[in-house]
Amino acid sequence: MIAFWYIHEHLFTITNSKCVIKIFGYLTHLLYGHYSFRNIFDKSINNYYWACFLFTMKVIEHLAQAIRTKQPRVSFEIIPPKRGASLENLEKVVKDLAQFSPPFIDVTSRAAEPLSSTGEVQIQKYMRKSPGTLGICVLIKHKHRIDPVPHVLCQGFTREETEDFLLELSYCGVENVLALRGDDLGYEKPLANGKTRNVFTQELVGQIENLRKGAYLHGQGSLLDFCVGVGGYPEKHAQAVDFASDIHYTQQKVDAGADYIVTQMFFDNSSYFTYLANCRNAGITVPIIPGLKILTSKEQVDILQNTFHCRIPKELAGLVERAGSNEEVKDIGCEWAVRQARELFAFGYPVVHFYVMLNVEPIRKVMGQLKENGILCY
């Protein structure tokens, strides 16, 4: 410990090599997972402006670390609050999630939507109902020292806006992104002044891959070092004709440069196991992170099936139907999620991803049960 402390105190007098700093950061990240070391390290490192840089890791590095150390991990996804909402609740959500030592936290994004025109002159205006993805990522990274994964969308954004956003993320030290097509907005924002847009995810991934090579929309520049994730659909994307075509489109995203896949939420692990096997048979070798959600109300059953096209197993649907209250549904959902996570970890997958939104109470219960069962250590 003394030797490590000496290196920590005198790192920049030894070398200014970025490579060595990154290696040092990787070692500290390994040690930071241990509570006793974290207490010591937290008290000393808060005064260093470069502390957050030391803890930057790619998602695929987190996965490799979880495998190497044989310590399963749980990552989360949250949403920005609606425009005008207080940051206080979001800060509490992130703080609550941070206690579980997640390797990374995804932050969703939402495009601007058309507003109703008023007055005699009809002028179409657009506004983002839930802005703040970039700011939230900075909060997660630089205050809580957790790697954020902002969502980058095709829908509602031009390639020029996407390039600007990626540059801003890079300037803030964010090195992970999740590239998605985004929800169908039901409209096309007009393009002006020769701007262009990405229609499909593989095009967005291709743009990020170009930036990783220093190829910008209007010339060459510095290389942006991003780890790129994409979405996967164990129960098939709603717009895909069949499972084979869905796998084909996933392969295109990987061929364009995606480093990993995180799945849409599912409630039947057999769907994930089949999807994983089909991807591997198709030659897709990148990590595929399973995505889970905790069912918390009877109303969610219809919403998840009709909006997100998730299949609810008959056993789970029956338990929810017989529940006397949403509080009982929440208990059922937590038990089901624990069962799913336990099986996935036993299967050998190092990280399970939970869609939390801004509701921490259920995930707190699930994490507690997984820890009591000796599956997680945080």
Q: What is the Cβ-side half-sphere exposure of residue 367, based on CA atoms within 13 angstroms?
A: 22
CA dist 179 and 351 (Å) reads 19
Looking at residue 80, what DSSP letter applies? P
pTM of the model: 0.84
Residue 347's CB: how many other CB atoms inside 10 A?
12
Burial class (CB in 10 A: 0-12, 13-18, 19+), 321: exposed
Q: Which domains does the chain carry?
A: 1-55 (no CATH), 71-290+348-364 (3.20.20.220)
- What tokens does 91 get? 């800060």
Name residue 257's amino acid: G
Supply φ then ψ for residue 21, to 5 degrees.
-60, -40
Q: Specify the pairing of strand 125-127 against strand 113-115.
A: antiparallel
Burial class (CB in 10 A: 0-12, 13-18, 19+), 194: exposed
Tokens 């930036």 found at: 211
Burial class (CB in 10 A: 0-12, 13-18, 19+), 131: middle
- What tokens does 323 get? 């529940």
- Asked if 170 and 177 count as a contact pair (C-beta separation under 8 A), the reply is no
- Asked if 305 and 312 count as a contact pair (C-beta separation under 8 A), the reply is yes
- What tokens does 29 get? 């990240």
pLDDT tens series, the chain, 378 aa: 443 333 333 333 333 334 444 444 445 444 544 444 444 444 443 433 343 445 589 999 999 999 999 999 999 999 999 888 888 999 999 999 999 999 999 999 987 666 665 555 555 666 666 579 999 999 999 999 999 999 999 998 999 999 999 999 999 999 999 999 998 777 777 788 889 999 999 999 999 999 999 999 999 999 999 999 999 999 999 899 999 999 999 999 999 999 999 999 999 999 999 999 999 999 999 999 999 999 999 999 999 988 888 999 999 999 999 999 999 999 999 999 999 999 999 999 999 999 999 999 999 999 999 999 999 998
CA dist 173 and 147 (Å) reads 9
